[in-house]
Amino acid sequence: MKKNAFPDTPDGRYFVVRGRLWRKSNPGLDRDKRDALVLELMMARRAVRTAGADPVARADARRRVDKAKIALGERGPVWWLDGDPDYNRHLVKNTAYAEWYAGLGDSERT
């Protein structure tokens, strides 16, 4: 099995790309629901790309992307229940994950 190219935080809530945290999908989603949402997300992303200069089509496609990402748990309300804050899109060095990330070797960081 291929190792994830981006390190996951120890609690599994985020992955790190170029020093920034990105919220992962809700692991509590059932497989069929998750697969359908990922398919919709991919179609919506293609629609953004093909919208070209049409501002109405582009805005509609971006709304679809946002809706799918919220349903997946990657945006919007957090999917964990312990009250910890959301650090989505934050620089990892400015969060509670800073010490963990600093302890990773260069080959483990992105």
Whether residue 84 is predicted with pLDDT greater than 70 in this model: the reply is yes
Q: 19 near 92, Cβ under 8 Å?
A: yes
CA end-to-end span of the chain, whole Å?
A: 19
- 1: tokens are 């099995």
- 44: tokens are 């919506």
More confidently predicted of 5 and 109: 5
Q: What average pLDDT score do residues 66-79 get? A: 98
Give the closest residue to 20 by CA, choosing from 102, 66, 89: 89
Q: What average pLDDT score do residues 58-77 get? A: 98
pLDDT at 110: 61
Task: Write the pLDDT tens digit of every residue in 20-50.
Answer: 999 999 999 999 999 999 999 999 999 999 9
∠ CA 18-20-22, nearest 5°, is 115
Question: pTM value?
Answer: 0.87
